[in-house]
Chain A
């Protein structure tokens, strides 16, 4: 594909200009996390209330710890911080390596969930 986009869109303002800091800069150029695979619905919980800035941790790392005081999925973290999922996975790898967050892999990556999970979902939806 050689679509160049609308010539009228060439003014780089606001959203058109993209993020001020490029995703690869946030991760220091790394494309893969040091550890873990991180499904979109893996649940992340911070292990500490607060993390002081230290070498190797950027503002995005600290933002994730702040956000994950309440359990969040990888997809939610990416959406709330407005970062691509791949970038969030790299940052999460750093945080896991430092024991700053805990990851709960989804049930469903290890086969079909229990009958009881289906029941709970059905009852939960009815109660909405």
Chain B
């Protein structure tokens, strides 16, 4: 692969910076497993405490006391160099926490949408979300044992994806497989970034 015209050689004295990639998909599809497979530490968990009034969808009528809701996010860290840290965030599974997604997606360089072919519809909301936001994403089909194997073009057709969107098979438990997914995503995101920059 050709990575010509680098604006700055990597490793040059740069200010430390952090970037993030999101791992999305339905409940139990292996988001935290994938974070753990490539992260340098076990996945960490962070929580946002929200008041119900911020949740939006819930009907507050008749609720006398304001309740709080906790949204948990699992994440991991990969230190690329002294001045560059990559964070992987598993998105909260509950669809009603879209506003947390907005915070997470802000500035994310891309997203992995994990799919399980036995419950393909579970990943539709994630795909719709990233398509709507213009966040570069790919679909990684987590190969669960016992699940029927589909061809990638069948998955692509079933998800009605733009042909540009990479679709690949993976095993979220395997470090090498998760690495390949992330590399493919960053390459895809870089292509989109360069195309947008050229416009």
What's the least CB distance linking B137 to chain A, in Å?
A: 15
Which residue on B lies nearest to A115, using beta carbons? B7
Report the count of interface residues on B (CB-CB < 8 A): 54
- 1/0 per residue B164-199: CB within 8 Å of A? 000000000001000100110011011001101100
Q: Is B98 an interface residue (CB 8 A)?
A: no
A128 to B181, CA, bound (A): 13
A107 to B189, CA, bound (A): 15
Interface residues of A in 2-38 (CB under 8 A from B): 2, 23
Q: Is A52 an interface residue (CB 8 A)?
A: no
Known A106-B107, A112-B193, A115-B7; contact A125-B186, beta-carbon cutoff 8 A: yes
Q: Which of B6, B18, B62, B196 has the most CB of A within 10 A?
A: B18
B87 touches A117 (CB 8 A): no
List the 7 shortest-distance A-B pairs measured between CB atoms, nearest first. Answer: A108-B107, A124-B80, A120-B10, A79-B44, A118-B190, A41-B18, A84-B49
What's the least CB distance linking A63 to chain B, in Å?
A: 16
A121 surroundings in chain B (CB, below 8 A): 19, 80, 84, 86, 109, 186
| Contact sample, A vs B, 21 pairs, CB 8 Å cutoff | A23-B49, A43-B18, A43-B85, A73-B18, A76-B44, A76-B77, A80-B44, A84-B70, A85-B48, A107-B19, A114-B8, A116-B9, A119-B6, A119-B190, A120-B10, A121-B19, A124-B78, A125-B179, A125-B182, A128-B38, A128-B179
Known A2-B63, A75-B46, A85-B47; contact A118-B7, beta-carbon cutoff 8 A: no
Contact residue range for chain A? 35 or more
Residue of A80, A85, A108 near B20 (CB, 8 A) is A108
A123 to B15, CA, bound (A): 19
- 1/0 per residue A60-95: CB within 8 Å of B? 000000000001010110111000111100000000
- 1/0 per residue B1-30: CB within 8 Å of A? 001011111110001111110000000000
A110 to B15, CA, bound (A): 15
A2 to B11, CA, bound (A): 54
Which residue on B lies nearest to A102, using beta carbons? B16
A75 touches B6 (CB 8 A): no
A122 to B84, CA, bound (A): 12
B3 surroundings in chain A (CB, below 8 A): 119, 122
A86 to B10, CA, bound (A): 34
Known A42-B18, A75-B46, A118-B109; contact A124-B190, beta-carbon cutoff 8 A: no
Known A85-B46, A106-B20, A124-B84; contact A40-B103, beta-carbon cutoff 8 A: yes
What's the least CB distance linking B140 to chain A, in Å?
A: 14
A128 to B47, CA, bound (A): 28
